[in-house]
Amino acid sequence: MELEVKEITKNFGSKRVLNDINMTVKSGEIHGLLGKNGAGKSTLVNIISGVISDYKGNIIIGGKNLDNLNVKERQNSGIYVVPQHAAIIPNLSIGENLFLGMLPENKGIVQLTKMYKKAKEILSEYGVSYDVETKIGKLPLLDQRKINIIRAIFSRASLIILDEPTTALSVADRNNLFNFVRDLSSKGTSFIFISHYMEEILELCDSVTVIRDGISFANYPIKDVNEDILTNMIVGDDVTLVERSRTHLSQLREKPLVKIKDMNGSGIHNINFEMEYGEVVGVVGLPDSGSREFCRTIGGMSPFKGDIKLAGKLIRNFKSPKEAIKNSVVYVSFDRHKEGIIPLRSIRENINLSILDKIKTKLGIIKSKQDVQNAEYYFSNLSVNALSTEEAVGKLSGGNQQKVIIAKALSVKPNLLILDEPTIGIDVKSREEILGVVNNLSKEEGLGVLYLTNDYNELLRICDRVLFFNDGEVIKDVKNENLTEEEVVRLRDNIIESGEAL
C-alpha cells in the first residue's frame, strides 16, 4: 500500500521541528530517509507511527487517513517500526517473541504447542531455520533483526520502517539483511530505510528523501543522486571528506610506538605486531575473527599473556581499562550506550570521567578549575553541539555523544587510541569532524591509532595500513597504497576461504 506524508508540521514549544514535510512511499518500494542527527527524522517516524499525535498535516496509507489513529490502530493499518536496537525479550523463546501481544490462548492458558508449530511455519516461509524454542537472546544480531521484520509482516505490516538496521552488523550480515529486504519488497512490502551511510542508501533504495533542519527534499529516484548530491542536501553546504596524506610517515621516530610480542588471550593468539608514532592502522575482520577481541584486549577489557612495549616501556599485562589508561592506552567502545556514556550526567562530567584521579585532591574533592577548563577545551575543539557543558549527554544527538566520548578519551593524553566503530550511527558532518581530529592528532602529536570499522570507504580514507584478522590471528598486514574497498573485501574473503597465513 502507498504511504503519503502530506505537509506535516510539528512544533515543540516555540521551536518548529518539521515544516511542511512531504514524502511518498510506493507499494513495494524501498525508500531511503537521510538527515543528520537532530534534522527531524525521528520526529517524522514518531508521527507516521502514531507515537506523536499532535501535528498538522496528513498521514495516509492505501487511501486511508490515519491522523486520528493511535499506535496500535496504525499497526493494524499496516505501519510497523523496527527500531535500531532489536525489540526483543532476550529470555523468551523465538516463538514467544514472534507472538508477543498475540499469544494463542484457551481460557487464559497459552497454547505453546500451537504457538511453536505456527512459529516454525512462519520462519520457514522466510528462510530462517532456528529451533523456535531457543531463547532469542542467543541469536546473532542479524537474525534478531530478521525476526523483528518477520514479526512485523506477521502482524499484517505493509510498510516497515527500518531504523538504522545495520548497526553492529558485519558487511556479510548487512548484505544478507539487504537481500532479505529486497525479497520482501519484491513481494509487495514497502520499506522506509533510515541510515547514516549513504552507500547503503545508494545500494539498497529505490528512492530517497532527505530532511534538513525540518525541511524535506523528497522523493528523489536513486538513479538521479550520488554521494556528493546527498551530502550537500544533508548538510546544506559542501562537506570536505577527510583524505589522509601519508607523507608524514617518513618523519617518524626511530623506535616504534607499540611492539607486541606473542600476545595470547580470549579469542586471539600468537599476535606479533608493531606500529609507529603517528600511524593510523586499520583493523579488518568478521565477527569472532579476533579483530575486535584484539582491540578490546589492548584496551584492558580482557587479560592476555605476552609482552607489550609502549613508547619503549615494557608492560606485561593490562588487568583493567583503568590500568591501560595509566599506561596511556584508551579504548573507545563500539557500544557508546553501554560502555561510553552516562546519559543522565553532564557533558563536563562525562568528559572528565577518565581523568578524575588527576583532578581530585587527596581528600577526593574535584578541583573545579581544572574540571571546567578540560571540559570546555574539548567541548570547543570537537565542536560539540550543545548549549553548554552542563547539558546532559543523554539529550545529545548520536554524533555529539560520540564527540563527548572521544573527548573523554583524548583527555587522558594517550599515546595509543583504539577506536572501535567510532562513526557508527552518526551523521556525515560529525563523521568527518571525528576523522579530521584523528588525522590531525596523529600527524601533529604522534598519536597512534588502531581503527576498527566495517565501513571500508572510511577505513581507507584514514588508515596508513590494514591488519586482516581470521581465527584469532593477524593473517595479513597490508600498506594502504591505493587500496580499494573491493580489494579489502576480496582479501578478507580469500583469507577466510583459504586459511591463508602470513
Q: What is the pLDDT of residues 80-133, one digit of tens each?
A: 998 876 677 888 899 888 887 666 666 677 778 888 888 888 888 777 778 889
- Separation in Å, CA 98 to CA 26, 129, 237, 422: 27, 14, 44, 33
CB half-sphere exposure, 5, CA atoms < 13 A: 32
Kindly report which listed range (26-35, 76-85, 473-482) carries the lowest average pLDDT score. Answer: 76-85
CB half-sphere exposure, 478, CA atoms < 13 A: 20
Domain 257-498 class in CATH: alpha beta
Q: Is the pLDDT of residue 64 over 90?
A: yes
List CB contacts of 365: < 8 A, sequence separation 6 or more: none
* pLDDT score at 492: 86
User: What is the band of 36 on the pLDDT scale with cuts at 50, 70, 90?
Assistant: confident
* pLDDT score at 250: 44
* pLDDT score at 297: 94
Which of 12, 34, 75 has the alpha carbon at shortest distance from 429?
A: 34
User: What is the band of 27 on the pLDDT scale with cuts at 50, 70, 90?
Assistant: very high
Q: Phi then psi for 306, rounded to 5 degrees?
A: 125, -175
Place of cell 510539528: 10
22: number of Cβ within 10 Å: 15
Q: In whole angstroms, what is the distance from residue 95 CA to residue 19 CA? A: 42
Handedness of CA 385, 386, 388, 392 (dihedral sign): negative
Residue predicted with more confidence, 238 or 14: 14
Note the helical H segments in 284-341.
Answer: 291-298, 321-326, 336-339
- Separation in Å, CA 138 to CA 56, 80, 129, 294: 43, 24, 14, 23
- Helical (H) or strand (E) element with 172: helix 171-186
pLDDT, tens only, 146-168: 888 888 877 778 999 998 888 76
* pLDDT score at 502: 43
* pLDDT score at 168: 64
End-to-end CA distance of the chain: 54
* pLDDT score at 9: 95
Q: In whole angstroms, what is the distance from residue 464 CA to residue 487 CA? A: 15
Q: In whole angstroms, what is the distance from residue 138 CA to residue 93 CA? A: 10
Q: In whole angstroms, what is the distance from residue 167 CA to residue 102 CA? A: 28
User: What is the band of 54 on the pLDDT scale with cuts at 50, 70, 90?
Assistant: very high
Q: Is the pLDDT of residue 70 over 90?
A: yes
Q: In whole angstroms, what is the distance from residue 103 CA to residue 469 CA? A: 44
Q: Is the pLDDT of residue 291 over 80?
A: yes
Tell me the pTM: 0.68
**If you average pLDDT over residues 311-327, what whole number do you get?**
85
Burial of 344 (0-12, 13-18, 19+ CB in 10 A): exposed
Q: Phi then psi for 150, rounded to 5 degrees?
A: -60, -40
Q: State the maximum Cα–Cα separation within the chain, in Å, rounded to a whole number.
A: 78
Place of cell 595479513: 476
Q: Is the pLDDT of residue 251 over 70?
A: no
CA 113 distance to own-chain centroid:
38
Q: In whole angstroms, what is the distance from residue 343 CA to residue 392 CA? A: 6
Q: In whole angstroms, what is the distance from residue 445 CA to residue 328 CA? A: 14
Region of 35 (left: φ > 0; alpha: ψ -120 to 50; beta: rest) is left
* pLDDT score at 440: 92
Average pLDDT, rounded, for the chain: 87
Q: Is the pLDDT of residue 134 over 80?
A: yes
* pLDDT score at 227: 85
Q: Is the pLDDT of residue 439 over 90?
A: yes
Q: Is the pLDDT of residue 31 over 70?
A: yes
With DSSP H G I counted as helix, E B as strand and the rest as coil, what are the percentages for the chain, rounded to 5? 40, 25, 35
* pLDDT score at 365: 81
pLDDT, tens only, 192-233: 999 888 888 999 999 999 998 888 998 999 999 998 888 888
**If you average pLDDT over residues 352-367, what whole number do you get?**
84
Q: Is the pLDDT of residue 279 over 90?
A: yes
User: What is the band of 61 on the pLDDT scale with cuts at 50, 70, 90?
Assistant: very high
Place of cell 590494514: 466
* pLDDT score at 501: 47
